[in-house]
Structure 1
Amino acid sequence: MAAQQRRRRLLVVVLGAVAAVAVVVVIVVVALGNQGGDGGPAAQKYTGPIAPATRQQDGSVAMANSGVTAPVLDVFEDFQCPACKAMEARVGGTIKKLAAEGRVKVVYRPFQLFQQDPLMSNSRRAANAAACMPADHWVKYHDKLYAEQPPEGDKGFSNPDLIKWAGQLGVTDPAFAACVNGAQKIGQVDQATAYAGKVGVTATPYLALNGRQLGDDALASSDALQKAVAQAGSGTPRSAGTAPAQR
């Protein structure tokens, strides 16, 4: 009888410990779920207006209201880069909001960062497709590419998928499909990559405000980025170097 009672007490203790561990696991999972993809605070999806996007001479895409020329926020990114996707989830909406409010001119500069396959080819196909995309659909396509980013190490961003996703956004012009399938903008991608190297970009995401790289602290949250832009004010607009003309 005494042995049975001891076994019952031991079972109660073990079950109690298991329950406690389960509670801790649930708490950790919930906490991680409330963070961004790289451990930063989660950001709400931006659903407000988008400033007009225009293709610049060098192939980059400017997003700004009419007449807004400063401050300039250059966004160097690779659509295959997981850290870029995490940054976009964290402050991408804030970037759009700041541009829509006329507080900044954003210049998106996609390029090829990775040098080994399959990442390199994924990056080049995505950047080429983005360069093929008409400016009036570019921002939505930019976001779609991040939403469909393949896992690191997997082959992805196939031409059929890149064309299909464009169609889902209303871009069905055969010229876009031809541009993607024929890699017609790959020279522009190579120029953008060379320009990023000239600026000194060795990792992404790389954001520069009026020509000066923003630190991780400025990209840690929506509030931090808004503060950095406010401090930059409307000083002399200066992009991160002088990009080559598009060929």
Structure 2
Amino acid sequence: MKAVRNERFMKVTTYLLLIAWAVFVVFPLYWMLTTSFKSKLDVFLGPKYIPWVDFKPIVQWWIRIFTVEREEVIRPLINSIIVASISSLLAVLLGTMAAYGLTRFKFKFGPLRNHDILVWIVSQRMMPPIVIALALFLMFKVVNLLDTRVGMTLIYTAFNLPIAVWMMRNFLSQIPISIEEAAMVDGASRSQIFFRVVLPLTLPSLAATFLLCFIFAWNEFLFALILTFDKASTMPILIASQHFQRGPQWWDIS
């Protein structure tokens, strides 16, 4: 009886903690959404949480975004979606291939081994982006990639590749090699094993890695500021420019 009671207590406690954590995570999104329906006065008068109770919702700012500011907003939004999505897909694909090689084969480049290669790859992400910003600007100017989606996609792919390699290497190392050996016995090639056996087993890991890369690419500011001017500018640049030109208009940002 006591064991059942303890088990029930642990279950209730676990659910309460999960609910509290869910509220903690979702509340910023809820606050952002409700702010987009508040008037200027409601925003600056203090916290107002519940629509139709604490404040009267309005759709003025949504109409303004899709009418008056449509040309100003739509292009950066589309640029962010395209660049972040394609660069994340490329980073995950290339990173998974590199991680698979590091977990299944033994490499030797002088004194370097697999672990050293992995550390070197991850160390590229630790380098401050501003260090290479000027060099990238000059390189992109020579090859005519300034202010282009292709250029930003290449930058964000390289920017997120170390993260993808590091994450997927940990996931792939947990897959038993015996599964691949069984596929080899059935006559599968190494590429068939990778695409038909390994990748389906790592779909949750691929999704998690893609989302992380997408978030980093979507929020990136420095390269977008230096390497774009108008045609390929992204949402962080638009939000920052609005903030400096007109002040913190939280209703538009939300």
Q: Name the TM-score, length of structure 1 as normaliser.
A: 0.26
**Higher relative helix content:** 2
Instruction: State the structure with more CA Rg.
Output: 2
Larger relative contact order (CA 8 Å, sep ≥ 6): 2
Which structure dedicates a bigger proportion of its chain to strand?
1
